[in-house]
Structure 1
Amino acid sequence: MAQLGFLGVLGAVLTGTFCAVGMITFWIRTNRKSVATARTLMLGAEDTITFLFDDEILVDASPLARSLLEHRGANQTHWEAFLSLLSARFPELRSQLSDLADIGKKAIRPVDDHQSWLEAEYWNGLARIKLVQHEDHPDDTIDPLTANAIENELETLRSIGEASPQLIWKQDTQGVMTWANKSYIELSEFLFPVASDAALPWPPRAVFDNVARPSGHAPVIDMHCVNPDPQEKPIWFEVTSLRRGSETIHFAVDATAVVSAKDAQRDFVQTLTKTFAHLSVGLAIFDADRRLVLFNPALGDLSHLPADFLIARPTLFSFLDRLRDNRMMPEPKNYSSWRNHMAALESAAAQGSYQETWAVPNGQTFRVTGKPHPNGAIAFLLEDISDEVSLTRKFRSQIDLGYAVINNLEAAVCVFSPSGIMVMANTAYRSLWGTEMEGVINSRDFSEESANWQEATAPSPVWVKLHDAISLGRTEASWCGSVWLDSHIEISCQYNPLPDGNHQVTFTLAEKVDSASRVVETPEFEPQRSLSV
């Protein structure tokens, strides 16, 4: 039994060995076959532009062909570099080579060039692609100095594209990326990271979706955004797409600041719009051409102008004409003078000095203010002040009534403010003390009036008490005293404190003093002390 087990194991080992030897032999034969095929396909190709590919792997190339692939991108495969190199002349080369394995051999000619073409041949798993030029094709060789200048310029353009902070990339007719600069590749790697030990993909993952592919020569500009972090604001890019030959070149500029500014402006305009909508003051803004460009609902309510008329952007004079027709402004004496007045109104508003009160025929009163705005625009504010005017008139009437009542009193009455300024005096007061006043209210103060009193009367402690009450602010209860005019006429002087720190002084001839009034005995005469009045 042991011998049988040993023989079984030995048989398995020998079988495995024979299989391994067979596989190695098959691989060597296959490899030799591929090498032989490659040598056969590249015979006589030293002076031509010939590429030999195994799928997308470059197996061999002629010296001229290799020189054309020297400047391929760091992450670009030989196959992508080959397609990018010939895409300008053969824009649909990728799709035209997709069926080469099935056909075996084909010639690919460009649409607009009959002097050159591609000969593609597929044999034994290898694809040979050769650029053929017609015998009559002109000699394209140039002198070394010109070639050096062209190479330097090309290197400069390459460095500009690579170092540009803009995202720049190129697509062929089928939308496949054929080239991208460093900024685009870095953003793609940031948005779609790969493992540290994995090879970077080519072409890189697309940063933007549905990028425009213009059909004409005019550029197409649109906005795209990327969101690296869902918890942060997206990054906006302005993408400009240009068609150059059969390819499309895209430029993306960071426009986040511009978009944020537009959003802030839109929010600000919305805030202003809501604010204007709730204002009770009518607002009308006319541009430099004097057309209505902005108004709020209060303007229609106050002017009784229909909304369709305001929305139609009437001119300033049409707006004022309509107000006149609706009897919403003062009635002019004649139309020509009214037009001249309106022209003056426009000029004054543009200078920021226009303000008028309009008493319209229906009894309303408007305050109209004109203000200049940037770029030659002007704004008009229409405010209904009917209630304010009515209240002012009512107060004026009450004040006039009060003045009339005070002036009818036989007693001389004057009132001083908390700071000692005379704010009121009646006719009897002016007759008694000979005070010349231009009106009921004068700017004379207590010191001037007290000096006038003391000059016309005998010394009295009453003046000291008035000085303490009015000049020094020692407010106390009402009191009454007597002073002598011309040494033989007794005058009763009564002091009464008023609300808000005001003071009332009333002078009455002694024989006319009301016996019912409360009289404070005059203190005994003391030597008059000097008053700083």
Structure 2
Amino acid sequence: MHKVFEIAMGAYLQLLAGVSWLSHWLQPNAGDSYATAALVVSALLIGICCAIWAVVLRLRFHAYREAMKSALAKAQGDIRFREAMISACPEAIAVLGSDMHAPLSYRGGAGLLQACLDGPDAPLLAARLETLLAHGAAFSAVVRTAAFPQVSVRGCAVGSRAAVFFRIDKDASSADADYTALLDALPVPVWIRNRHLVLTWANRAFLAATGQATLRDAQLCDAKLDKSERDLMRVASEGGDVDAVRRFAVVDGERRVFSLNMKKLPDRSVGAFATDLTDLAKAEARAQLNTESHTAILNTLETAVAIFGADQRLIQCNSAYVRMWHLPQDWLATRPTLNDILDRLREMRRVPEQRNFTAWKQEHLAQFEHAGQHVTETWHLPNGISVDVRSVPYLAGGAVYLFRDISEKLAQEESYQLLKRSQRAVLDTVETATAMFGPDGRLRIHNEAFAALWRLEDSELAGEPHLTKVADLCSSRTGRDGIWSMIAAGISAPDPERYNAWGDLVRADGKSLNLSLSRLPDGATMVSFGDVTDLSRFSVAISETPVLPPVQLNEPVISAA
């Protein structure tokens, strides 16, 4: 302010001096005092205004100069800060712009940019840079150069220009070498094609499978495992899924089966590997042959067989199963569940009548939840057929059902039981103790006299007990002797009648028995015991009575006229 005051006072003094000179010059012609005064005042006012305007201009200029100095200092500070940040940044930087003849470079960014554009991933990087310059779209990518296997590139818009940052992964070379060595050691063919489907890398297994010595040879002849490989690669490069596609290839003169898997990589190339499934295909063929053989064997059985998996779906059934249940083969080929089959059989009235069919069905379905459960039951169907049902666990999970029509068997058993009851009724009328043993040594039938002779209960002789059990029961009642050993030998002998020559036998309790063995046409042995105890005692008594002399009668014998 003091300086401004000095400037204003100086301008004012100069103005007064000018006015004084002007008045002095006008004095000789001062005829008109009013005109002179007006001129002086006007000059004075003009001078004051000019002085004020000069002061204002000087002040404005001084303020503008101070502001420019402050902005320059701030800009220089920002520049120094940015230069420090760029120097501290480990990444190389290249700045591009449409108005620039050459990119700005920091830490060798321009050279690294050119190396990346000369590398195998140049098309990818060029497309990303073009999009960045045209639309300002930021990007990040990993590219390869001749000197570095992995360079991370990051681009972003800075005003009207583009900044590209480069970071060299120094550990990538060793890591890639390890990965390459690992992939090269795999016995599985692995290879990579770029986005133009040109072979860029392959391991030794791929070279061996395609008959090539080096990667260069494989690239020159465009080696491939199968003719359709390029088509599959194209599908994968477009984002499609190529998983476990089976193809055939001739390797070392042998036709082999490969499972091809292909995946699109981040750099738009396609990686692929092939798994040799030749042994698996042969095993599947053998399994299919075994399945067909098993099916043929099952179809020869009269027993209906149905195999259900762990999901309760029908896996396989034989022709007897179809005939027994009259189910359409086309429907069975759809692999229905056991639940569906039981519902359909109920509609056909080919399952037992149940008060609560749902609960009965759930009991059968519950066996799939308990591994190792065996089920044996008999179904009496509304049409009069009886079916023996057995289920056993399936080794692969699930259950195997066996169905057998036992209607005829039950009828035969009923006839047999009726015949046994008839024979028992006939034998009960015979006083001789009689028992019939089958070829297997089991007691088939006996009469009441046999049970009474050996002091046995009917409950003990029920269920066709074996000869040894009957012998033990008899010995526990009457004492041990050799009678039942002789009977056992006679039943096992081809000619049991010769044991009849033993005559009367004395039991351990003193009872005399007459044993008779005879072979029946069906191979059974009829054993008869005659109680001759009284006869033996009478014979003994007769033999011990003394012989009396004959008595002569004096009286004449009067015969009847």
Structure 1 equivalent of residue 220 of structure 2: 203
The alignment status of 1:496 with 2:517, answered yes or no, reads: yes
1:356 is matched with which residue: 377, 382, 399? 377
The alignment status of 1:224 with 2:247, answered yes or no, reads: yes
1:390 is matched with which residue: 406, 411, 427? 411
Contact 1:349 1:370 in 2 (8 A): no
Map 1:58-457; keep pairs closer than 5 Å: 86-90=119-123, 110-114=126-130, 146=168, 148-188=170-210, 191=211, 202-203=219-220, 206-208=223-225, 209-211=227-229, 212=232, 213-214=234-235, 215-221=237-243, 222-230=245-253, 232=254, 234=256, 236-242=258-264, 244-286=266-308, 290-292=312-314, 294-311=316-333, 314-332=336-354, 334=355, 337-347=356-366, 350-351=369-370, 352-373=373-394, 377-415=398-436, 424-432=445-453, 434-438=455-459, 439=461, 445-446=470-471, 449=474
What RMSD over aligned residues (CA atoms) do the two structures have, in Å?
A: 5.0
Letter matched to residue 330 of structure 1: P
1:124-179 Cα shifts (integer Å, max 9, x gaps): xxxxxxxxxxxx7757676xxx5644544454454445444442333345443233
Specify whether residues 423 and 150 from structure 1 end up closer, same or farther in structure 2 by C-alpha distance, changes over 3 A only.
closer
TM-score (structure 2 length as normaliser):
0.54
Instruction: Specify the SS of the correspondent of 1:479.
Output: helix
Consecutive unaligned residues in structure 1, runs of 5 or more:
1-46, 49-63, 70-81, 92-108, 117-135, 456-462, 513-520, 526-533
Instruction: Specify the SS of the correspondent of 1:217.
Output: coil
Paired with 2:441 and 2:326, the residues of 1 have a C-alpha distance of 51
Greater shift after overlay, 214-223 or 412-421? 412-421
Letter matched to residue 411 of structure 2: S
Paired with 1:349 and 1:172, the residues of 2 have a C-alpha distance of 52
Letter matched to residue 355 of structure 1: T
Paired with 1:179 and 1:153, the residues of 2 have a C-alpha distance of 17
Specify whether residues 324 and 193 from structure 1 end up closer, same or farther in structure 2 by C-alpha distance, changes over 3 A only.
same
- What is the total number of aligned residue pairs between the two structures? 382
Paired with 1:380 and 1:282, the residues of 2 have a C-alpha distance of 8
Specify whether residues 430 and 276 from structure 1 end up closer, same or farther in structure 2 by C-alpha distance, changes over 3 A only.
closer
Specify whether residues 405 and 269 from structure 1 end up closer, same or farther in structure 2 by C-alpha distance, changes over 3 A only.
same
Give the drift of 1:405. Answer: 2.2
Letter matched to residue 385 of structure 1: I
Specify whether residues 154 and 279 from structure 1 end up closer, same or farther in structure 2 by C-alpha distance, changes over 3 A only.
same
Larger relative contact order (CA 8 Å, sep ≥ 6)? 1
Paired with 2:441 and 2:428, the residues of 1 have a C-alpha distance of 21
Structure 2 equivalent of residue 481 of structure 1: 503
Paired with 2:457 and 2:131, the residues of 1 have a C-alpha distance of 117
1:93-124 Cα shifts (integer Å, max 9, x gaps): xxxxxxxxxxxxxxxx95554499xxxxxxxx
Letter matched to residue 329 of structure 1: V
Instruction: Specify the SS of the correspondent of 1:506.
Output: strand
Specify whether residues 454 and 249 from structure 1 end up closer, same or farther in structure 2 by C-alpha distance, changes over 3 A only.
closer
Consecutive unaligned residues in structure 2, runs of 5 or more:
1-101, 104-110, 133-160, 544-561
Give the drift of 1:368. Answer: 1.5
Instruction: Specify the SS of the correspondent of 1:329.
Output: coil
Paired with 1:223 and 1:185, the residues of 2 have a C-alpha distance of 19
1:54-109 Cα shifts (integer Å, max 9, x gaps): xxxxxxxxxx89x979xxxxxxxxxxxx9xx6442248xxxxxxxxxxxxxxxxx9
Letter matched to residue 505 of structure 1: S
Specify whether residues 179 and 398 from structure 1 end up closer, same or farther in structure 2 by C-alpha distance, changes over 3 A only.
same
Contact 2:209 2:251 in 1 (8 A): no
Specify whether residues 404 and 348 from structure 1 end up closer, same or farther in structure 2 by C-alpha distance, changes over 3 A only.
farther
Instruction: Specify the SS of the correspondent of 2:238.
Output: coil
Specify whether residues 410 and 257 from structure 1 end up closer, same or farther in structure 2 by C-alpha distance, changes over 3 A only.
same
Specify whether residues 282 and 251 from structure 1 end up closer, same or farther in structure 2 by C-alpha distance, changes over 3 A only.
same
Instruction: Specify the SS of the correspondent of 2:411.
Output: helix
Specify whether residues 86 and 277 from structure 1 end up closer, same or farther in structure 2 by C-alpha distance, changes over 3 A only.
farther
Instruction: Specify the SS of the correspondent of 2:384.
Output: coil
Contact 1:483 1:492 in 2 (8 A): yes
**Percent identity, aligned pairs only?**
20
Letter matched to residue 530 of structure 2: F
Structure 1 equivalent of residue 61 of structure 2: none
Instruction: Specify the SS of the correspondent of 2:390.
Output: strand
Specify whether residues 401 and 251 from structure 1 end up closer, same or farther in structure 2 by C-alpha distance, changes over 3 A only.
same
Instruction: Specify the SS of the correspondent of 2:251.
Output: coil
Contact 2:262 2:270 in 1 (8 A): no
Structure 1 equivalent of residue 71 of structure 2: none
Letter matched to residue 400 of structure 1: R
Specify whether residues 228 and 507 from structure 1 end up closer, same or farther in structure 2 by C-alpha distance, changes over 3 A only.
same
Contact 2:497 2:516 in 1 (8 A): no
Specify whether residues 243 and 262 from structure 1 end up closer, same or farther in structure 2 by C-alpha distance, changes over 3 A only.
farther
Structure 1 equivalent of residue 151 of structure 2: none
Letter matched to residue 247 of structure 2: H
Contact 1:172 1:248 in 2 (8 A): yes
Give the drift of 1:406. Answer: 1.8
Please identify the structure whose Cα radius of gyration is greater: 2
Specify whether residues 179 and 361 from structure 1 end up closer, same or farther in structure 2 by C-alpha distance, changes over 3 A only.
closer
Contact 1:416 1:422 in 2 (8 A): yes
Give the drift of 1:366. Answer: 0.4
Paired with 2:456 and 2:327, the residues of 1 have a C-alpha distance of 56
Give the drift of 1:381. Answer: 2.7
Paired with 1:113 and 1:479, the residues of 2 have a C-alpha distance of 122
Contact 1:492 1:509 in 2 (8 A): yes
Instruction: Specify the SS of the correspondent of 1:300.
Output: helix
Paired with 1:296 and 1:306, the residues of 2 have a C-alpha distance of 13
Give the drift of 1:507. Answer: 0.5
Q: Which has the higher helix share?
A: 2
Specify whether residues 178 and 281 from structure 1 end up closer, same or farther in structure 2 by C-alpha distance, changes over 3 A only.
same
Paired with 2:212 and 2:338, the residues of 1 have a C-alpha distance of 59
Contact 1:167 1:252 in 2 (8 A): yes
